Amino acid sequence: MNNLINLKNISKSFYNNKKISVLKKINYSFTRGKIYSLVGPSGSGKSTLLNILSMIDRPTSGSLSISNKVVNFSETLDNDKIRSEKIGIIYQQNNLLTDFTALENVYMAHLSLTNNKKEAKHKAKIILKKMGLKSREDHYPSELSGGEMQRTAIARALINEPDVILADEPTGSLDQSTAKEIFNILYKLKDKNRLIIYATHNRYFANMADCKLEMIDGNIKTINAKFKQ
């Protein structure tokens, strides 16, 4: 089938002084080829859900399948490999490495798949060029604008040609016109084999998606799906 990611009874609680149940038995299937937006108030669990989808965090209970394979959250090395091969992640606050240039930030993400530095650099240059950053290759993050940093982060997320792109409020710290530019790029990445999920607070960007999901009381509610689920 075309279900790329399946969630079965996914729950996540955090225990500080008391237990906070953030995700409550979520069942959902994400379809390949579609773009989903994830909305909900601050603290509703959007990042928690994205962190589980990317296997950065583990659920308290329930199971996650990627390409029909159930993820074993204890196999962190295997999961790191799956993540670098299949999943591109973009965060709000760019988390580029400050001591490395744009080119280095991008090509290093490819070294987990190949030991060929020359090939990785070549690939990174092509993607940076596509992102309109050819003249910024040798710039450090501090020398880039907010939009340029996010385009570098997108290039980094793309270098391994991921099936899944997860973006957690990717334009949360950008002005509206730069945010539009970033979403235009994100939407150009739509492909029949790819799944894109992004969290956003912006209603306009949320409504562009093929399917808008809202986090309500620890669960996912489909607000408008423009395709048959």
Ligand X SMILES: Nc1ncnc2c1ncn2[C@@H]1O[C@H](COP(=O)(O)OP(=O)(O)O)[C@@H](O)[C@H]1O
- Binding residues (CB under 6 A) for ligand X: these are 14, 16, 20, 22, 40, 42-48
> CB-wise, 55 or 124, nearer to ligand X?
55
> CB-wise, 141 or 218, nearer to ligand X?
218
- Under rule CB under 5 A, residue 79 binds Mg ion: no
Both tokens assigned to 159? 């270098």
Number of shown-chain residues binding Mg ion (CB under 5 A): 2
**Residue 46 CB, nearest distance to ligand X (Å)?**
3
Q: Are 211 and 226 in contact (CB under 8 A)?
A: yes
Radius of gyration, alpha carbons of the chain: 17
Q: Which helix (H) or strand (E) holds 148?
A: helix 146-158
**Residue 97 CB, nearest distance to ligand X (Å)?**
23
Q: Which helix (H) or strand (E) holds 120?
A: helix 117-130
**Residue 98 CB, nearest distance to ligand X (Å)?**
24
Q: Are 221 and 214 in contact (CB under 8 A)?
A: yes
**Residue 191 CB, nearest distance to ligand X (Å)?**
26
Stretch touching Mg ion by CB under 5 A, among 43-51, 53-61, 116-124, 202-210: 43-51
- Under rule CB under 5 A, residue 47 binds Mg ion: yes
Answer positive or negative: Cα dihedral of 209, 59, 32, 167.
positive
**Residue 23 CB, nearest distance to ligand X (Å)?**
8
Q: Which does 128 bind (CB under 5 to 8 A by kind): ligand X, Mg ion, none?
A: none
**Residue 103 CB, nearest distance to ligand X (Å)?**
31
Q: Which does 43 bind (CB under 5 to 8 A by kind): ligand X, Mg ion, none?
A: ligand X
Q: Which does 229 bind (CB under 5 to 8 A by kind): ligand X, Mg ion, none?
A: none
Give the count of beta carbons closer than 10 Å to the beta carbon of residue 78. Answer: 12
Answer positive or negative: Cα dihedral of 192, 170, 185, 87.
negative
Both tokens assigned to 96? 């580029």
> CB-wise, 96 or 199, nearer to ligand X?
199
Q: Which does 218 bind (CB under 5 to 8 A by kind): ligand X, Mg ion, none?
A: none
Region of 119 (left: φ > 0; alpha: ψ -120 to 50; beta: rest) is alpha
> CB-wise, 41 or 132, nearer to Mg ion?
41
Q: Are 32 and 192 in contact (CB under 8 A)?
A: yes
Q: How many whole angstroms from its chain centre is CA 199?
A: 9
Residues that bind Mg ion (CB under 5 A): 46-47
